[in-house]
């Protein structure tokens, strides 16, 4: 899809052209958070954006709105809507399409046999969900324009996420003829078309998540799925230089036994935070070494709980301008700690 005139290409988040993006990664790395921030960021760049949650735990939309999200897209302000796709809803719709008679479809879907069938039939559930996403991405309005420029899918954690994107191909191979084969092939082509579909991998600057992200990336590429971007989430921006951290440790070691606990803690915090930054930087290097392009970065937000304002801030960090500032500050040396303070201030401002 060509860039629409109303997009400012300079403003597109993560350098991503609008399309259907599956946000995935290991459990708890921030998939829902990044999905919500990415949706906001795209919307701000002028794209009509749909944020999609799937069956189960996904919760991206609830970060943006307290409203209950259902199978119909719910508007969340201008150019942004959210919906939740469950297997049952998707099955209902698919059955109506194929059987053409609503009563028949409803009769089928309410039959207990269906429940067992969908559990046992390999890939059937995934196919229904992907089929719905395909139809959303292809939907046009009465002027022939795409209804959605961008669709962001808060996808299940790693293992299951790969399964989801791989399933159409597996089904197409297992059942090469019949209506399911037609559907599987269409959906498979959709998930492998880099113009229509991409994956955003979310990772954390820690050993296991980075290793798993690199493995997952290889797996996806092997399957022919495009990894559109990798986001390294939760990076601490170092407030201290090596020398300052060393100085704080030395001072801490010299503190008398009866020193104020607040002073002791303050000094401990310096070496502790700096130590983590050093480890994180090493993991970031390891991640980038395994990627074609360096990972996009998102800062750790110091807040007891992420609120709507934090998501707005994260969505701004995802913009090209935000990324540029962050990258520079993570590089540290040149701008030094005062730039780091700016990131912390920006994150703090919103809380």
Partner 1 sequence: MTAHHASPTELSGRLDRLGVLLVCGSGGVGKTSVAAAIALDEAMRGRRVCVITIDPAKRLAQAMGLTRLEDRERKVKLPQGGTAGGSLHALMLDPKTAFDRMVTETASTDEERDRILGNRVYQQVSGSSSGTQEYMALERLYELDRGGKYDLIVVDTPPAAHAKDMLESPHRMLRFLEGKSLRWFLKPGAKAGKLGLKALGGSNGPVVGLLQKITGAEMLRDTTEFLESMEGIYGSVSDRIRVVDRMFGSPNTGFLAVTSPERESVDQAVAFWELLEERRYCFVGTVVNRVEPPAPGTYASDAELDALEGIDESLAARIAAAQVDHSALASRDRSRLDELARETGDALTISIPRLARMVNDLDGLRALAPYLHG
Ligand X SMILES: Nc1ncnc2c1ncn2[C@@H]1O[C@H](COP(=O)(O)OP(=O)(O)OP(=O)(O)O)[C@@H](O)[C@H]1O
Q: Is 263 in the site for partner 1 (CB under 8 A)?
A: yes
C-alpha closest to that of 50 among 184, 150, 164, 171: 150
Q: Is 32 in the site for Mg ion (CB under 5 A)?
A: yes
- Are the C-beta atoms of 295 and 209 separated by less than 8 Å? no
Least Cβ distance, residue 59 to Mg ion (angstroms): 5
Q: Is 95 in the site for partner 1 (CB under 8 A)?
A: yes
From ligand X, Mg ion, partner 1, none, interface partner of 140 (C-beta below 5 to 8 A by class): none
Q: Is 7 in the site for partner 1 (CB under 8 A)?
A: no
List the beta bridge partners of residue 83: 52
Phi, psi of 303 (to 5 degrees): -160, 140
For helices 102-109 and 87-99, angle between their N-to-C axes, nearest 10 degrees: 140
Least Cβ distance, residue 265 to partner 1 (angstroms): 5
Q: Which of 88, 138, 147, 157 binds partner 1 (CB under 8 A)?
A: 157
**32 or 49: CB nearest ligand X:** 32
- Are the C-beta atoms of 153 and 54 separated by less than 8 Å? yes
Could you tell me how many residues of this chain bind partner 1 (CB under 8 A)? 78
Stretch that binds Mg ion, among 31-39, 267-275, 287-295, 297-305 (CB under 5 A): 31-39
Pairing type for strands 80-85 and 49-54 reads parallel
Q: Which of 9, 67, 102, 117 binds partner 1 (CB under 8 A)?
A: 117
C-alpha closest to that of 277 among 329, 324, 316: 329
Least Cβ distance, residue 295 to ligand X (angstroms): 14
**185 or 276: CB nearest ligand X:** 276
Stretch that binds partner 1, among 3-11, 136-144, 224-232, 260-268 (CB under 8 A): 260-268
Q: How many whole angstroms separate alpha carbon 240 and alpha carbon 242?
A: 7
CA 139 to the chain's CA centroid: 23
Non-local (6+) Cβ contacts of 209 within 8 A are 25, 26, 29, 203
Applying the rule CB under 8 A, the residues between 180 and 219 that interact with partner 1 are: 180-181, 206-209, 211
What is the contact surface with ligand X in residues (CB under 6 A)? 26-33, 57, 157, 206-208, 233-234, 298, 300-301, 306
Least Cβ distance, residue 116 to partner 1 (angstroms): 4
> Which 8-state DSSP code applies to residue 140?
B
Least Cβ distance, residue 342 to ligand X (angstroms): 17
Q: Which of 138, 196, 279, 290 binds partner 1 (CB under 8 A)?
A: 279
Stretch that binds partner 1, among 2-10, 56-64, 144-152, 290-298 (CB under 8 A): 56-64
Tokens of 32: 């829902």
Provide the terminal-to-terminal Cα distance of the chain, rounded to the nearest Å: 38
Pairing type for strands 80-85 and 74-75 reads antiparallel
């Amino acid at each position: 899809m060509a860039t629409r005139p109303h997009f400012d290409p300079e403003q597109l988040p993560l350098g991503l052209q609008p399309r259907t993006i599956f946000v995935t990664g290991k459990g708890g790395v921030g998939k829902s958070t990044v999905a919500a921030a990415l949706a906001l960021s795209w919307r701000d760049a002028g794209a009509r954006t749909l944020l999609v949650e799937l069956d189960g735990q996904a919760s991206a939309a609830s970060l943006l709105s307290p409203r209950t999200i259902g199978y119909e897209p719910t508007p969340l302000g201008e150019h942004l809507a959210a919906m939740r796709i469950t297997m049952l809803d998707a099955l209902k719709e698919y059955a109506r399409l194929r059987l053409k008679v609503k009563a028949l479809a409803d009769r089928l879907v309410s039959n207990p046999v269906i429940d067992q069938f969908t559990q046992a039939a390999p890939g059937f559930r995934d196919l229904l969900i992907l089929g719905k996403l395909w139809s959303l991405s292809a939907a046009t309005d009465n002027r022939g324009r795409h209804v959605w420029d961008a669709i962001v899918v808060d996808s299940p954690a790693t293992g299951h996420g790969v399964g989801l994107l791989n399933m159409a191909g597996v089904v197409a191979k297992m059942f090469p003829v019949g209506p399911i084969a037609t559907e599987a092939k269409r959906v498979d082509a959709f998930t492998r078309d880099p113009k229509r579909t991409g994956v955003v991998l979310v990772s954390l600057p820690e050993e296991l998540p980075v290793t798993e992200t690199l493995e997952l990336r290889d797996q996806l590429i092997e399957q022919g799925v495009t990894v559109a971007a990798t986001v390294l989430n939760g990076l601490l921006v170092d407030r201290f230089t090596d020398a300052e951290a060393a100085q704080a440790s030395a001072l801490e070691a010299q503190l008398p036994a009866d020193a104020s606990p607040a002073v002791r803690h303050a000094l401990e915090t310096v070496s502790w935070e700096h130590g983590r930054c050093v480890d994180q930087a090493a993991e970031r290097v390891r991640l980038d070494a395994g990627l074609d392009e360096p990972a996009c970065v998102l800062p750790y937000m110091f807040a007891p709980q992420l609120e709507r304002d934090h998501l707005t801030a994260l969505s701004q960090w995802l913009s090209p301008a935000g990324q540029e500032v962050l990258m520079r500050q993570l590089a540290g040396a040149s701008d030094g700690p005062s730039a780091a303070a700016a990131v912390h201030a920006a994150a703090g401002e919103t809380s």
